Structure 1
């Protein structure tokens, strides 16, 4: 996991997963392993040639004396670790729900096979197999201990600590995917007879194209929703407000609050119209790089996605002010509480 961390990160690199990693109880993009206090203590003991201390087993207090005491699990509950030991297995938690596990499993199995091959070579050449097995565990743990982290993966301190340890941090799909064709990854695939260079290069190109197509579809739909539904609806609402404002002014009523409301909505509307047209321009720019898949994906990430976020901020503001009768789509309130 340490030596091939960039490749393992590629296994979870998708456009949708960029929104998930690092939040909502999903692990961060930095590859680390949670071993738990008990297993970490055992490995530390092997490394330091000491004696392992027994972990104190705590119990769950249910608050009722008639219920039996249940021992707390010594393994992981914290969902902020990309790879965690859970008693009898390791869980790889980064993969998105829409993904196939085939690709991530290929990368993990290839990496595990490579490391097991190194261990097997040492064991086969050793006279004292048991001693050499101990030495292999010690050496592997000492050389790759930097990837072990049992704390909060969401914390700012962990990001700083990961940088100090030299752990790679590929925060988005476009940054991660080129690691598929790094010299380390290519050597792994060739030595394990998994992929040739041309095969893995073609897979990189397909993954980049998939990312670009997904962002293109989302951005194009966003433009269409704004042009055909949201902007006309808000224009109609502003017109209604203006008519009401004119009638109140004609009667000599105070309209300061209404004027402020009209100004706020109109300003957000103007910004949304401008952002919509700019998003359309960004999409056209990205499409012009159809023969340069990496460059195209970078434009979608750096320009299209950023413009989508800007447009959404303006639309979200308009949604909070626009009369429900005018708004063309279900609001968050409708989706969460009224279905």
Structure 2
């Protein structure tokens, strides 16, 4: 009964984790936490928050270090998403924010009214991007091992929805209900953001069934498999945000008048209405949500082949090419390689499970 989430880590496991700590520290990868997880002999660790490129490189080194150090301790580190049927599998949480070269985090509510407009625009850009390209966010985590885990009452469902928390949701609803965006409305809205309570970070992290959750000053993408590189998810989130900001810029430029703040909030108001379908605050595991998602027209790719097809729609091919990420030929080649890898891994999994 002592082997539970809040229990002490067993002595031999603690020795292993301390060795992992020391090895990673030598490589310049400090960890911030380690603890038991819910499955037997399952544990969690988390590195410090870093710039995306570096964080992804460090994540891959952590995986390699876990395997090597485990072997020295006569153990095996299982990075498979679902190594045993009937118990919880493993995954990664991708914490993602947008910070400029001055250190300003655009997902951090501020006491400055001007910066709060930036906050609303950044949130809107992500909502707009996920509304348009949520399918490829799902495809970015498509993998044979992850197919066994997504939606299995331990990971978020394969439906890409966004949880913003009570305070942000109420604020967006306030903006949407405003009949016109005048100076009075602008002041009320910016004051609302300014007064967001500090406990917002805790409130926004309460729904663990959400695929994408706003957690105070960042978004947390919770569908990544434990054996996968975070690189593709990071690329996809960056692409989604780039599309959203690009679209917002075009809309602001197209509006008449010189009041940029008013025009920006008018665009935010439009996007809030357009993206309401992807906002969901309740239980993502429930059958009601799966039925509701169908009504809202949200994609729900239940396996890797279905998900990878979403990379090959005309809109996706165009946006990858537009931002010089992948040409159509490169994108199709990538999907071929992924499908081949899926088939090979599925064969290995089926062999091991018999």
Instruction: Name the TM tier (shorter chain).
Output: 0.5 to 0.7
Larger radius of gyration: 1
Where do 1:277-296 residues align within 5 Å? none
Q: 2:303 aligns with which of 155, 172, 179?
A: 172
CA apart distance, 1:112: 1.1
1:108 to 206, 229, 237: 237
Q: How does 1:153-168 map to 2 (within 5 A)?
A: 153-168=284-299
TM normalised by structure 1 equals: 0.58
Cα offset for 1:40?
0.5
- More displaced 10-residue stretch of structure 1: 161-170 or 20-29: 20-29
Counterparts of 2:139 and 2:200, CA distance in 1: 38
Shift of 1:203: 0.4
C-alpha distance after superposition, 1:25-52 (max 9, x if no partner): 3100011000111100000100111867
SS of residue paired to 1:105: helix
Counterpart position of 1:36: 165
Tell me which of 212, 223, 239 is aligned to 1:83.
212
The alpha carbon displacement at 1:77 in A equals 2.2
1:25 to 136, 141, 154: 154
Which of 228, 232, 238 matches 1:99? Answer: 228
5 Å-filtered alignment, 1:124-143, equals 124-126=253-255, 127-143=258-274
The residue that corresponds to 2:248 in the other structure is: 119
Q: Is residue 2:319 matched to residue 1:188? A: yes
Residues 32 and 83 in structure 1, CA contact (< 8 A), matched pair in contact too: yes
Partner-residue secondary structure (3-state), 2:148 = helix
Provide the rounded CA distance (Å) in 1 between the counterparts of 2:200 and 2:336: 50
Greater fraction helix: 1
- Asked if 1:146 corresponds to 2:284, the answer is no
Between the aligned partners of 2:320 and 2:261, the Cα distance in structure 1 is 31
Structure 1 residue 93: deviation in Å? 0.7
Aligned-partner Cα distance in 2 for 1:72–1:124: 33
Q: Which of 132, 136, 139 is 1:10 aligned to?
A: 139
CA distance in 1, matches of 2:291, 2:153: 21
Question: What do residues 165-207 of structure 1 show as CA deviations (whole Å, max 9, x unaligned)?
Answer: 1111111111111111111110111111111000000000011
Give matches, 1:235-274, under 5 Å.
Answer: none
Say if 1:142 and 1:71 are closer, same or farther in 2 by CA, change over 3 A: closer
Paired residues in the alignment total 212
